[in-house]
């Protein structure tokens, strides 16, 4: 190749780099989506100095000077605070950082290398979060680490048991957890560059892997969500969703794909209700190339039909972080977009859903240095969403970006709860209900036809089985309060928990975050999310169990043999009675 040709190619590449960087500058730093002017190489713009809309304040903190590929968030030790998990490079450890001081503790070491993604979930149905992570490119390279809780100590790395789950067929990416076959046990969806595979958990704790062979799935990226609202989690791949046939059929290759629209081969995707119409939408970004960030809406509520494409940001380069959540507390879903280390600008941006319908967006640069597979979670337990992540390659620092949104105070706080009792139901399936089954004037709890008597007091004095009780299964509670905007949460019921005459939503974490949450209505359009208990839950009710004037919560856990959690609300006893 001649020097002249080489110089021409380099010049062309530089023009293209500046072209894409100019679009990104225009859209994220100027934060104007409609009518944005393309900057050229003769119009250099500093991204930070050119920002016209400041949005919220995000305060960056360094958790550790070195990082690894895997970034996960969850309550490892069951104290109600979100901890951080990060997986190392070759021969480096998988560790967790305990909130709030972020002291690291060993989980385990790889046989080869923990890579790119992982997930937290209650795999063994014992009430705590276990870890699923890929390890290397071959052999049984999808592995789990069993949390030592409830009887052990998660700060002791020797107590984390490593379990081999199955063979992915290459470097593992995009690990997702859900109950795909409706047997009340968590299954695992993951992928290599060539295939998507679901590992179904059997009753004895063994695993059965089934690949999805229904279509071209792209090379990187995976999403899950109940696209057709049939109660089963479906799969999202490049430009399509794959319908879960449900129950036993999910374990057979009966999954059929339906087109969504054009999408990158290497992508990140999230299922969320962007326009708040009650129907799931699908968001895509390009993780390795340059493409528009778009969200697709199924027309006429028919996900098997036509999906309309709606542009959020044009020509964003290597957005390897794409997360959805309510960043500004206005009740609608916003985005966190982060560029990886090979991008030109390596920016992290908050993108706000201004009109709540996904038609008007505003961007704000919140950090530099890039982020790879970043995560949204309430890391400082103040009711708003923060960002956790690091870039990829050469072990860059682990960062968190703390959202300084000042949510209004509730009339009564919702952060004072205690687990007063846990009742083993001994039943594989049952319906949660509450009623005064013995006529003593206090509310008892029931699961199916079995009931447990409330003996009063602080709710911890024992819950004896009610003999010959006639359980009246009351009508199912619906979450008619504000919609949940996180794709990782499912509403269970609604009640005015803080006595402000507005319904708050009790919700369950559906994936790695796990736990029980309250979406509190603070008034003036502001809402905050409060994590109140760890575990995996399928039902909840709010009722005054201790007759102190406030609402307590009884929740039904997931698992082969569900338990009833009695959560006592301490707000009135501490705030109104001194």
Mean pLDDT estimate for the chain: 82
- What is the rounded average pLDDT of the residues 355-377? 92
**What pLDDT does residue 562 have?**
78
* 235 vs 383: which has the higher pLDDT: 235
Residue of 2 and 451 predicted with greater confidence:
451
pLDDT at residue number 335:
96
Share of the chain above pLDDT 90, in %: 46
Task: Check pLDDT > 60 for residue 109.
Answer: yes
pLDDT at 249: 95
pLDDT at 492 over 90: no
Pick the most confident of 3-7, 52-56, 305-309.
305-309
CA distance 60 to 20: 26
Greater pLDDT, 320 or 420: 320
Domain-wise residue ranges, the chain:
417-575
Q: Using CA atoms, how far apart are residues 297 and 69, in angstroms rounded to an integer?
A: 32
What pLDDT is attached to residue 407? 66
Q: What is the pLDDT of residue 549?
A: 84
User: Do the strands 142-146 and 161-166 form a parallel or antiparallel pair, or are they unpaired?
Assistant: antiparallel
Preceding omega of 357 cis (within 30 degrees of 0): no
pLDDT reported for residue 41: 28
Task: Work out the pLDDT band at 78, boundaries 50, 70, 90.
Answer: confident
Better-predicted residue by pLDDT, 221 or 460: 221
- Tens digit of pLDDT for each residue in 279-308? 999 999 999 999 999 999 999 999 999 999
Q: Residue 52: is its pLDDT beyond 60?
A: no
Q: Is the pLDDT of residue 479 over 50?
A: no
> Is residue 68's pLDDT more than 90?
no
300 vs 496: which has the higher pLDDT: 300
> Residue 399: which pLDDT band, with cuts at 50, 70 and 90?
very high
Using CA atoms, how far apart are residues 222 and 76, in angstroms rounded to an integer?
Answer: 25
Judge contact between 519 and 531, C-beta under 8 A. no
- Which residues lie closer than 8 Å to 404 by C-beta, 6 or more apart? 56, 57, 58, 59
Report residue 21's pLDDT band, with 50, 70 and 90 as the boundaries: very low
Segment among 3-12, 38-47, 255-264, 341-350 with least mean pLDDT: 38-47
User: Does 23 score more than 60 pLDDT?
Assistant: no
How much is the pTM?
0.79
| Cβ density class 256-291: b for 16+ within 10 Å, e for less | ebbebeebbbbbbbbbbbbbbeebbbbbbbbbbebb
pLDDT of 400 higher than 70: yes
For the cut 80, the answer to whether the pLDDT of residue 162 exceeds it is: yes
User: What pLDDT is attached to residue 240?
Assistant: 96
pLDDT score recorded for residue 574: 41
The least confident of 13-22, 223-232, 356-365, 568-577 is 13-22
pLDDT of 480: 46
- Whether residue 232 is predicted with pLDDT greater than 80 in this model: the reply is yes
pLDDT > 70? residue 14: no
């Amino acid at each position: 190749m001649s020097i002249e040709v080489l110089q021409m190619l380099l010049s062309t590449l530089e023009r293209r780099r500046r072209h894409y960087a100019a679009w990104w500058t225009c859209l994220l730093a100027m934060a104007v989506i409609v009518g944005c002017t393309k900057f050229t190489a003769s119009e250099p713009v500093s991204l930070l100095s050119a920002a016209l809309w400041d949005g919220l304040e995000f305060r960056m903190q360094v958790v550790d000077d070195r990082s690894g590929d895997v970034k996960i968030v969850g309550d490892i030790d069951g104290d109600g605070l979100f901890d951080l998990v990060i997986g190392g490079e070759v021969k480096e450890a998988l560790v967790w950082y305990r909130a709030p001081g972020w002291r690291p503790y060993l989980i385990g070491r790889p046989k080869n290398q923990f890579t790119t993604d992982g997930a937290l979930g209650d795999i063994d149905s014992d009430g705590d979060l276990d870890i699923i992570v890929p390890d290397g490119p071959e052999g049984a390279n999808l592995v789990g680490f069993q949390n030592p809780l409830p009887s052990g100590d998660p700060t002791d790395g020797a107590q984390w048991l490593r379990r081999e789950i199955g063979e992915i067929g290459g470097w593992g990416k995009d690990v997702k957890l859900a109950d795909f076959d409706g047997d009340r046990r968590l299954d695992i969806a993951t992928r290599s560059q060539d295939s998507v595979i679901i590992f179904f958990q059997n009753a004895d704790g063994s695993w059965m892997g089934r690949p999805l062979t229904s279509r071209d799935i792209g090379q990187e990226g995976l999403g899950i969500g109940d696209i057709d609202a049939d109660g089963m989690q479906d799969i999202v791949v490049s430009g399509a969703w794959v319908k879960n046939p449900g129950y036993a059929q999910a374990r057979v290759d009966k999954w059929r794909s339906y087109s969504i629209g054009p999408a990158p081969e290497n992508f990140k995707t999230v299922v969320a209700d962007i326009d708040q119409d009650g129907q799931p939408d699908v968001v895509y970004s390009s993780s390795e190339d340059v493409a528009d960030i778009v969200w697709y809406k199924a027309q006429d509520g028919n996900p098997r039909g036509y999906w309309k494409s709606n542009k959020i940001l044009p020509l964003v380069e290597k957005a390897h972080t794409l997360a959805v959540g309510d960043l500004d507390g206005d009740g609608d879903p916003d985005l966190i977009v982060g560029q990886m280390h090979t991008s030109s600008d390596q920016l992290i941006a908050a993108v706000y859903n201004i009109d709540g319908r996904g038609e008007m967006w505003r961007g704000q640069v919140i950090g530099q240095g890039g982020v790879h597979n970043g995560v949204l979670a309430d890391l400082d337990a103040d009711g708003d969403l923060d960002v956790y992540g690091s870039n990829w390659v050469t072990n860059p620092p682990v960062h968190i970006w703390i959202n300084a949104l000042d949510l209004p105070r509730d009339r009564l706080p919702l952060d004072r709860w205690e687990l007063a009792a846990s009742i083993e139901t001994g039943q594989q399936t049952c319906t949660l209900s509450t009623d005064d089954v013995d006529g003593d004037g206090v509310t008892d709890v029931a699961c199916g036809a079995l009931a447990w008597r409330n003996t009063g007091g602080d709710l911890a004095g024992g819950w004896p089985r009610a003999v010959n009780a006639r359980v009246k299964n009351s009508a199912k509670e619906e979450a008619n309060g504000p919609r949940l905007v996180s794709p990782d949460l499912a509403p269970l019921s609604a009640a005015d928990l803080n006595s402000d005459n507005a319904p708050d939503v009790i919700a369950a974490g559906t994936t790695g975050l796990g736990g029980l949450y309250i979406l509190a209505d603070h008034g003036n359009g502001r809402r905050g999310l409060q994590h109140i208990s760890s575990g995996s839950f399928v039902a909840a009710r709010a009722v005054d169990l201790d007759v102190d004037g406030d609402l307590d919560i009884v929740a039904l856990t997931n698992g082969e043999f569900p338990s009833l959690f009695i959560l006592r609300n301490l707000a009135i006893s501490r705030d109104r009675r001194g």
